[in-house]
Amino acid sequence: MASSINQQIAIKLTPEGQQKQLEDANFIINLVNRAQQGAQAEAGDGTPPAFATGVAPLVSLELQQELAALPPTQTDEVFEDGNTEDLSIDSWYQVTVPGLPAVPSSGTGPESNADDQAVLPAATLTLIRNLLALDHVESAHSLAPCAPPSKGSGPDDDIPAPPAVFPGDDPRSVNQRYLNAAPVGIDARYAWTKKGGDGATVGIVDLERGWKLNHADLAAANITLISGVNQDFRFHGTAVLGEMLMVDNTIGGVGIAPHARGRVVSQWRTTTRYNTTEAIYSAISVMRRGDILLLEAQAFDPAGAPGYWPVEVDDSVYTAIRTATTRGITVVEAGGNGSNNLDTYRNAAGRRIFNRSAPGEFRDSGAILIGAASSSVPHVRLGFSNYGNRVDCYGWGQNITTTYTNEAGTTSEYTDSFSGTSGASPIVVGAAAAVQGIAQARLNSKLLPLRLRAVLKIWGTPSANPANDRIGVMPNLRRIIDGGHIRL
């Protein structure tokens, strides 16, 4: 039987509810306890309800103040959903609810998230449903930790111009076929022949749970932690960083954008508090227009649908991503390993939020959503990958050569089998960084997020059966560069 832990729930109050919380510090606790009593009555098994014990802002007040102090930004880009949204975060709270059943184990090993039927415990889903039925609650979702979207990896700007990339003396570069020309890869090797095509002047931030930053092929990249705790799944973060940022030296391989500036931010805000939303806002507070934020994460559906979903399924995360986009930060989001058709998904309000063909229901965060395909040509959608018309691009989701570490923390290990939408997403980030670097060199400016999303889809490599695969295209850097598509 699952053990009980202090689960946390995110709650957004209506304006009236927010006013009541400001007047009465126990208002949210009383709301949650009322919802829990209803959940216990529904269960009818005599189990005492788990009462709320603590409330705090979902994003710390200190970070909210830092965000408020940032220079105002405004882009003229129009989101596909046509909506103008309130992106304030001050009405979101996190509530500790001791005694709720533990979420499905996410483990720390390569195969820890292989269950495509993962779902939040029934008691948690009932609590969320009861909260949403209350007059003063606008949204609610779990803050339970969820494994990153890997399918296993096996044991095995004022920046000076950097030197050219010489992959020939990186012995594993020959195995990095995702660097090769289309239709095999994204043709990073061609981009390297163009000024800025190595990611120079571009900032990349990887959001997830852990890394081995002193790996022999990453240490010289001087990747730093913005905030949070470097806690677990270090094999995963190490592999992700390698695809993008492996140093051009004489060992291992070479990253797609080896001269980009890399940083990381952790979903573990402390050793016991997991909060993807706050991690995104923390990254936003130090990122610049034209930078790229990679979300190496997936989520449980707060409405209870099985499998793993894009993290923006949680409303507070969606708001954070859209905030990043409006500030000129491009967000690349793993599509998730749930084998789900995103077109048919409906949230708790019954809206098809991932379906671009559902006007009035679809919501556009601005993120570039990524699916996973085979490494072989023609590229076929892999069975674990989520899919649908919301997915913009795909990358290899298997057989990826990159840096790696193990439980002992080795700094010299590599793998040829990293995979998942986790493996696919850094490939697209690398392509985006190449485009942004070239744009800076040619135009003295980087592309805005929605423009960059469109450019990466121009003349991309289609999957084997686009109508069935529904994972978009793999960027083709040669055609983007030579086709004159890098323009404002």
Pairing relationship of beta strands 308-309 and 473-474 according to DSSP bridges: unpaired
Give the full edge-to-edge strand order of the sheet including 330-334.
224-225, 261-266, 203-208, 292-295, 330-334, 368-373, 393-396, 473-474, 461-462
What number of other Cβ atoms are within 10 A of residue 399's Cβ? 18
Q: Is the pLDDT of residue 418 over 80?
A: yes
Could you say which of 92, 127, 142 is where a domain stops?
Answer: 142
With a pLDDT cut of 90, the percent of the chain lying above it is: 76
Q: Give the pLDDT band (50/70/90) at residue 150.
A: confident
| Least confident residue range of 167-171, 215-219, 318-322 | 167-171
pLDDT at 182: 98
Predicted local distance difference test score (pLDDT) of residue 196: 96
Say whether pLDDT at 85 is over 90.
no
What is the identity of the amino acid at 217? D
Domains identified in the chain, total number: 2
Q: Give the C-alpha separation, 114 to 112, whole Å.
A: 6
Beta-bridged to residue 381, according to DSSP, are 373
Average pLDDT over residues 73-101: 84
Q: Stretch 104-122: mean pLDDT, rounded?
A: 59
Any domain includes 183: yes
Q: SS in 3 state form for 59-76?
A: CCHHHHHHHHCCCCCCCC
- On whether both 184 and 320 belong to a single domain, the answer is yes
CA distance 256 to 226: 22
The values of phi and psi at residue 33, to 5°, are: -65, -35
Distance between CA atoms of residues 293 and 285, nearest Å: 12
pLDDT category at 156 given cuts 50, 70, 90 is very low
pLDDT of residue 289: 95
What per-residue confidence (pLDDT) applies to 102? Answer: 76
Is the same domain home to 106 and 238?
no
Examine the pLDDT at 107 and tell me if it is beyond 60: no
In this predicted structure, the answer to whether residue 415 has a pLDDT above a threshold of 60 is: yes
Tokens of 248: 């051009």
- Do the Cβ atoms of 55 and 28 come closer than 8 Å? yes
Q: How buried is 344 (Cβ within 10 angstroms: 0-12 exposed, 13-18 middle, 19+ buried)?
A: exposed
**pLDDT for 170-210, tens place per residue?**
889 899 999 999 999 999 999 999 999 999 999 999 999 99
Task: Give the model's confidence band at 111: pLDDT under 50 very low, under 70 low, under 90 confident, else very high.
Answer: very low
pLDDT reported for residue 350 = 97
- Do residue 134 and residue 72 come from a single domain? yes
Q: Beginning with the edge strand found earlier in the chain, give each strand of the sheet holding 54-57 in spatial order.
A: 54-57, 92-101, 4-13, 137-142
Q: What are phi and psi of 331, to 5 degrees?
A: -110, 125
Query: Does residue 412 have a pLDDT over 80?
Result: yes
Give me 314's structure tokens: 């949680």
For residue 266, the model assigns a pLDDT of 98
| Lowest-pLDDT range of 45-59, 108-122, 274-288, 456-470 | 108-122
The residue among 91, 108, 142 that closes a domain is 142
Instruction: Calculate mean pLDDT across residues 398-426.
Output: 95
Residue 3 confidence (pLDDT):
44
* Residue 488 lies inside a defined structural domain of this protein: no
pLDDT at residue 161 in the model: 52
Same domain flag for 392 and 438: yes
Q: 380: which residues sit within 8 A by CB, 6+ positions away?
A: 373, 374, 463, 464, 465, 469
Judge whether residue 261 has pLDDT over 80.
yes
> What pLDDT, in 10s, does the model give residues 206-244?
999 999 999 999 999 999 999 999 999 999 999 999 999
User: What is the per-residue pLDDT across 49-70, written as a single tens digit (0 to 9) for each?
Assistant: 567 778 999 999 999 999 999 9
Confirm whether 159 is domain-assigned. no
Domain end call among 107, 142, 177: 142
Model confidence at 41: pLDDT above 60: no
pLDDT digits (tens, 9 = 90+) for 352-361: 999 999 999 9
| pLDDT attached to residue 73 | 74
CATH code (residue 439)? 3.40.50.200
Q: Residue 7: phi, psi to the nearest 5?
A: -75, 155
In terms of domains, do 136 and 182 share one? no
pLDDT computed for residue 408 by the predictor: 87
The pLDDT, as a whole number, for residue 109 is: 41
The answer to whether residue 48 is domain-embedded is: yes
Q: Flag whether 346 is in a domain.
A: yes
| Pairwise CA distance, residues 288 & 250, whole Å | 32
- Structural domain of 235: 167-482
Confidence class for position 48, pLDDT limits 50, 70, 90? low
